[in-house]
Amino acid sequence: MTPATWPRIALLGRLGTPQLACLRSWRRQGVPCVFLHVGHWPLPGLVRSLLGVPCVHLGPLAFDDPAWVARLAQALRDSGAEAITCVSEPISERLWALREHWPAGVVVAAVPPDAVRRLASKDRQRELARASGLQTLSSWCLAPGEPVPPLPEAVFPLAVRPDVAAEAVPPFKVEVVADRAALQRLVDLQFPGSSPLIAQPLVRGPNLLVHGWREASGRCCGNLGFAVEVKHRGLTVVMRPQPLPEAVAQGCGRMAEALGLQGVFHFEFVVDADGVPRFLDLNPRLGGTTGKALAAGFDEPMALVATLRPGQVPRSRYVAPKLAVSGGKHQALRALWGTLRGTSTDADYPHPQRGRAVAALLRYLLTGRDELLRAGAWRSLLAFALYQAGRVRAGASSGR
């Protein structure tokens, strides 16, 4: 398949690190693309020029506004886009729901809405994982305001998450509780009728990421494993490629097939004291580790292209012969500072081995790869920095 026959892809969203990784990948590989930017502040001309790809500003997301939907449809028509994708499940759901408004032939290159709905619940994800043959953690589902059942002291500390993140009131991502009293206080903080809470034994890691890709028919599919060497405040900082246990690879494949996943996605596991990977989460989209995977040698944006042209894109175009350690150096510096100050959280890894964490971070800072700081990509890095600085200034001005 030659660059002349690549599909033209539209990317909808703000300019974050996953979007930057996509635009860089497609530009390097010769894939025609257009960035459909959403937000209150348009991309400055200099930022558009430095990015090196066509950019269209659509204003804030407004799928309920027919005029905004018409502008998006016109942007797709004007750019000649054959596919549209994003880095957000809610956005992908609306793209699918409104697909009759898009020009003929435009494919929504994102997870189908029925799969998004099935994956919204952490408890349902766990059931699907178990049915696919994956190992999971013990789990308790707790309703807001209800008494916490008697739990053995041995299961604490527990990591607690909302079952449906969008329905947690007040919202939170994850909390670590040391005992039953602390768990009851957290349950009582949630408003009646909001999302149940899922409590699981805290396993400090390491985490295992499985990046996968799949064409709708299942003909083009695969996965790669990455061990998370450093995690700080919920973010993957450093990850290292590693071979996947056969049982994990097969279980991920079965779960992706059962859900009818298409495009790209990634599973998250935590490895327990016995070395068993335990399923935690499935994110059916591009995401926060897209740039890190790209730096490691797995070109996830090109894998997405491969799912749109099954059988036509050789694996060598998106999986390097030798994958490498990668991460985020700005995140590594923040993690190093936090580790030295002793402000690491219970969910950080490695924890509480401060010396081991510092050594891993220094080793990565000296030798690891970072897509954001990729050699030869200074123009798009400058564009990203200028855009982020502009957003900060605009936010500060509006808050006065």
Per residue in 299-328, pLDDT (tens digit) is 999 999 999 998 889 999 999 988 999 999
Q: Taking CA 17 as the corner, what is the angle to CA 360 and CA 198, rounded to the nearest 5 degrees?
A: 70
Give the model confidence (pLDDT) of 329-343 as tens digits: 999 999 999 988 888
Q: Can you tell me the mean pLDDT for 11-39? A: 96
Percent of the chain with pLDDT strictly greater than 70: 97
What pLDDT, on the 0 to 100 scale, is given for residue 363?
Answer: 95
pLDDT tens per residue across span 88-120: 999 999 999 999 999 999 999 998 889 989 999
How far is it, in rounded angstroms, from Cα 161 to Cα 174?
5
Query: Mean pLDDT of all residues in the chain?
Result: 92
Q: Is the pLDDT of residue 205 over 90?
A: no
Can you tell me the distance from the alpha carbon of 310 to that of 385, in angstroms, rounded to the nearest whole number? 36
Report the distance separating Cα 66 and Cα 72, nearest Å: 10
Which pLDDT belongs to residue 3? 59
Taking residues 190-212, report their average pLDDT.
Answer: 94
- Summarize pLDDT for 256-269 with one digit per residue, the tens: 999 999 999 999 99
Examine the pLDDT at 17 and tell me if it is beyond 60: yes
Q: How far is CA 307 from the centre of its chain?
A: 18
Tell me what the mean pLDDT of segment 71-77 comes to: 98
pLDDT at residue 396 in the model: 43
- pLDDT at 220 > cutoff 80: no
1 pLDDT band, cuts 50/70/90, is: low
Rounded to two decimals, the pTM is: 0.93
- Residue 386, pLDDT > 70, answer yes
Average pLDDT over residues 13-34: 96
* C-alpha span between 15 and 384 (Å, rounded): 7
pLDDT at residue 141 greater than cutoff 60: yes
Buried b (16+ CB within 10 A) or exposed e, 258-287: ebebbbbbbbbbbbeeeeebbbbbbbbbbb
How far is 10 from 81, CA to CA, in rounded Å? 6
Q: Which helix (H) or strand (E) holds 48?
A: helix 45-51
Please report the pLDDT score of residue 65 as a whole number: 97
| pLDDT the model gives residue 283 | 93
Handedness of CA 101, 104, 106, 110 (dihedral sign): positive
Among 1-10, 21-30, 155-164, 284-293, which stretch is predicted with the lowest mean pLDDT? 1-10
Could you tell me the sign of the dihedral formed by the alpha carbons of 50, 51, 57, 61, in that order?
negative
Pairwise CA distance, residues 171 & 118, whole Å: 20
Q: Among 282, 287, 207, which Cα is nearest to 252's?
A: 282
pLDDT value of position 397: 45
pLDDT for the residue 399 = 40
- What residues have CB less than 8 Å from 126, skipping those under 6 apart? 136, 137, 139, 198, 279
Question: What pLDDT score was predicted for residue 216?
Answer: 79
Structure tokens of 226? 């990455």
Q: Which two tokens stand for residue 359?
A: 């050594």
Distance CA 384, CA 71 (A): 25
- pLDDT bracket for residue 211 (50, 70, 90): very high
Residue whose pair of structure tokens reads 């029925």 in the numeric block: 114
Average pLDDT score over residue span 352-377? 92
